[in-house]
Structure 1
């Protein structure tokens, strides 16, 4: 049998391996050393190195379990009683605990590093993204909900919710949904929202309507838009008729808050996360915006979730390039390693340049966000942040899809095999050009930014990137 053994060995492909993603990211470490104050840099680096080890030893295996055990929906029990029970795997629930322990939301609001706290949080999310088993999505919405509540001054009725959303304690940590999309909607919430809010004698509101896409439907709480009905049952149309509501998904006994689950979505990617169609049939909710100011109130949430989208895009590119580069050190083709084929390395180098540019753009944005949140930003900083968020979301979402597909090609046919884990990254990346605004929606958002500022934004942008007006 020796001949058979040798024959088997010729078909063997050595698996690419990655180590501590913080220690292996030279650009990331260089950025921190260059921009963070020495004391902050030292503490943040220690935390990131420790987190990088935890990603390898504990979190990465959980991510694989989330991919292999997606959520299932049990609508009825054996006796015909309606349950509407979304069942998630233990690994998904453990991800939630880890997110709390690592302060993946809390770090941004504790602000122990002042304006650098957002940078610290963003880098942890960047390292976590491709090992999160899809849990990065509920974290994005949770961060967005916390930001909305903070922007409202943390009203007394929402202090408890804010505490839970920003908690380090796994037993207290809540995640939030973002229930905006309806059957007629999508990005056009102003004309597509049909959900109606009816005020009750006790001052609470009951919501009635159908939500077409509700990502992370297993979240504890959510923010949603609805139109308030007057005494005659009439509602105002357009964006001026929308108000923002906060609601708990379940009551104290664990029963759904007059919510019915129609089905789970069968998606191309992000299958680890429960995305559902939900009926709100009198769901008790709290009005948290001024009447008719719902769209304006969610703008701060949209800024945060778009930044999370950028983080996920850059993280996907980085992970695929790291794997491609590692594979090039192991795979032999035409008598030599892939790393010794100039054309192959040129391809990887081109992707590396794109990814580095996207990373630096991301860091510019979170740096500006940190300044704004700590009242250290000037008017130019605020204008630049307003412009760069939709630009970066648009650019990196499209770019990531192209880069991860190119990187998958670096593995040849092996890159197409499900059990390598590479197709999961590709599928989950493709949604990033859709979530939080498609290309044309973002383009219109940029146009509004330019129009409202009467040229100020472009002047700030040009001076920032040192572009001559004659070029």
Structure 2
């Protein structure tokens, strides 16, 4: 009898059929820690429903389909009429619709909304990251619109709705709406003050006509866009609807879609305005100030998005090592592989813990009694610090997690290449690393209350770990020296991120996680690659904590 050549053995089963939220102990514990106990049962149940959907084979297939079938631009219809529409695969609409339905744009309308929404955003982003762009911008637009109360009253109920309606129609006729944004221009990039789009005031108060070219306009099939343009009194924020109230199309000429490294499911466009109708948001000349809170919210979403990618990469690596055998036993039992997995799990838990602490600060900052002032000051520094560090840690972690799968991880079907292509995005979006570092320097120099709030938060762990205490002293020494501060900015921000994360883990994480973090990231007992933790640490417990399915 001939030997069988097609029997498949020693391959890991797909990581499906599990609750992405409940299986993530760092995330579920953070939600329990930061939410009011009265709110927790309902929130946890909702997040588990979303987690089960995210862990389903169906949702994972949608994510793959949305990326394998990227959006396509149609500038004209068959008769030559300009339409400027972008067509998406049905899977995109299913994933985006599920995100809207799960309340991922509704944080401002829900008690404990930022923590609940942050956890949901992390869970659902693990299905497919590209659709997080319109969800994030729609969520973040709310505080900017509140600078113009009449606009906020009109648009906020649409943006916080849990109903997704695709297609271009007047926003007033839709049960829910999405917003995109167009800030950067080819001559300026991150330097938005180099903006050259011109805004000409019309006869009606608050109405303008815009003329200019936006180099990056995200989610061009949204119902409206927040943009910057130069009015008579300076740079100003405007709301540009895609469809006007009478049903006619606003002037919104999509020149091309960007061919991007990752984020393939999502459309990013170059657009031109030529007499495009817009409504002013906030006073003339105060455009950057109007958008401050929106920028902070989208930067936090960069942290959340990177933490989600890291978690999914670690989950895949641990799952593979659990089921794959080599050299006489499961990979996960090999001391060297365990060191690598523990190091990855440690980085992922650190990012998740930091991200949820920021979300909790957002909830506290909205307290109606004014008690949130210290949390607002804390966020002023903590958000750019976290944005800088977590987004930069994402790519090397995903690369190492992919390597845990060996050649299988390099194959597109594994899903790991998609995670890898996505991993650099959040460090570029909403200001690259240098922009974040310079923003931290501005806050340090101009807003002493921000540094005080940051140090108060870090100081809550004083005396709990000698390595953390020493790292805090070293940071204070670094901050006391103002010479060459800009050239040292990345070094300073990195140290701030590590001591803040160390403080959180020492207070809230299991002892083995806090010990490993302080030993490696703060104590220096670490190499230059993942998998170089001290062998005397409790690495098995760290890995077990990260296991996605028991």
Same fold (TM over 0.5): yes
Does residue 445 (structure 1) correspond to residue 444 (structure 2)? The answer is: no
**Partner of 1:184: helix, strand, or coil?**
coil
Q: Match for residue 13 of structure 1?
A: 11
2:26 matched to which residue of 1?
A: 27
Measure, in 2, the Cα distance between the counterparts of 1:388 and 1:49.
Answer: 29
CA distance in 2, matches of 1:353, 1:147: 34
Shift of 1:289: 1.6
The answer to whether the Cα contact below 8 Å between 1:66 and 1:272 also exists between their aligned partners in 2 is yes
Q: Are residue 176 (structure 1) and residue 179 (structure 2) matched? A: yes
Count, aligned residues = 451
Structure 1 unmatched ranges of 5 or more: 230-235
Give the Cα separation in 2 of the matches to 1:247 and 1:186.
20
Q: 1:219 to 1:209 in 2, by over 3 A?
A: same
Matched, 1:224 2:227: yes
* Aligned residue in 1 for 2:304: 311
Q: Specify the alignment match of 2:208 in structure 1.
A: 205
- In 1, Cα distance between equivalents of 2:380 and 2:103: 26
Deviation for aligned residue 1:56: 3.2
Contact 1:16–1:323 (CA under 8 A) maintained in structure 2: no
Is residue 352 from structure 1 mapped to residue 345 from structure 2 by the alignment? yes
Q: Give the Cα separation in 1 of the matches to 2:203 and 2:183.
A: 26
Counterpart secondary structure, 1:367: helix
Report the Cα distance in structure 2 between the residues aligned to 1:458 and 1:157, rounded to whole angstroms: 34
Question: CA contact under 8 A between 1:130 and 1:425: conserved in structure 2?
Answer: no
Structure-1 residue corresponding to 2:506: none
Write the distance in 2 (CA, Å) between the matches of 1:157 and 1:463. Answer: 38
C-alpha displacement of 1:2: 4.2
The 3 A distance-change label for structure 1 pair 197 and 37 is closer
User: C-alpha deviations, 1:319-347, integer Å up to 9, x for none?
Assistant: 01011000001112223221121111100
Alignment of 1:111-122 (within 5 A): 111=110, 113=111, 116-122=112-118
Aligned Cα RMSD in Å? 2.0
Distance 1:304 1:8, change over 3 A: same
Q: Is 2:395–2:420's contact at 8 Å kept on the other side of the alignment?
A: yes
Q: CA deviation at 1:377?
A: 3.6
> What is the aligned partner in structure 2 of residue 85 from structure 1?
85
Corresponding position of 1:432: 426
Q: Which string of whole-angstrom CA distances, capped at 9 and with x for unpartnered residues, describes residues 225-262 of structure 1?
A: 00114xxxxxx7xxxx2000011012356653111111
- Cα deviation for residue 461 of structure 1 reads 2.3
Aligned counterpart, 1:187:
190
CA gap of 1:197–1:43, structure 2 versus 1, over 3 A, is: same
Contact between 1:64 and 1:133, CA under 8 Å: does it hold in 2? no
Out of 260, 266, 274, the position equivalent to 1:267 is 260
SS at match of 1:38: coil
Aligned equivalent of 2:516: none
Pair 1:166 & 2:168 matched: no
The alignment partner of 1:344 has SS state of helix
**Structure 2 length as normaliser, TM-score?**
0.78
Match of 2:60 in 1: 60
User: CA 1:133–1:303 in 2, change beyond 3 Å: closer, same or farther?
Assistant: closer
- Once the two structures are superposed, residues 325-378 of structure 1 have per-residue CA deviations (whole angstroms, 9 ceiling, x without a partner) of 000011122232211211111001011111111111111111111011123544
Deviates more, 1:359-368 or 1:61-70: 61-70
Q: Kindly state the Cα deviation for residue 425 of structure 1 after the two structures are TM-superposed.
A: 1.1
Structure 1 window deviating more from structure 2 (8-17 vs 377-386): it is 8-17
Q: How does 1:34-183 map to 2 (within 5 A)?
A: 34-57=33-56, 58-106=58-106, 108-111=107-110, 113=111, 116-132=112-128, 134-150=130-146, 152=147, 155-171=149-165, 172-183=175-186
Asked if the contact 2:344–2:397 (Cα under 8 Å) also holds between the matched residues in 1, the reply is yes
Which has the higher mean CA deviation after the structures are superposed, 217-226 or 15-24? 15-24
Q: Where does the alignment leave 5 or more consecutive residues of structure 2 unmatched?
A: 166-174, 463-468, 475-550
Q: Match of 1:421?
A: 415
Distance 1:411 1:138 in 2: 32
**Pair 1:117–1:85, CA change in 2 (3 A):** closer
Q: Are 1:394 and 2:397 counterparts? A: no
Per the alignment, in what secondary structure is the counterpart of residue 198 of structure 1? strand
Alignment TM-score, normalising by the size of structure 1: 0.91
Report if the CA contact (8 A) 1:265-1:277 is conserved. yes
Contact kept? 1:62, 1:95, Cα under 8 Å: yes
Of 386-395 and 202-211, deviating more is: 202-211
* 1:412 alignment counterpart: 406
Q: Deviation of residue 81 (structure 1)?
A: 3.8
Structure 2 contact 31–119 (Cα < 8 Å) conserved: no
**CA contact 2:27–2:353 (8 Å) conserved in 1:** no
1:297 aligns to 2:299 (yes or no): no
Is the deviation greater in 54-63 or in 285-294?
54-63
Superposition deviation, residue 110 in structure 1: 1.7
Shift of 1:450: 0.5
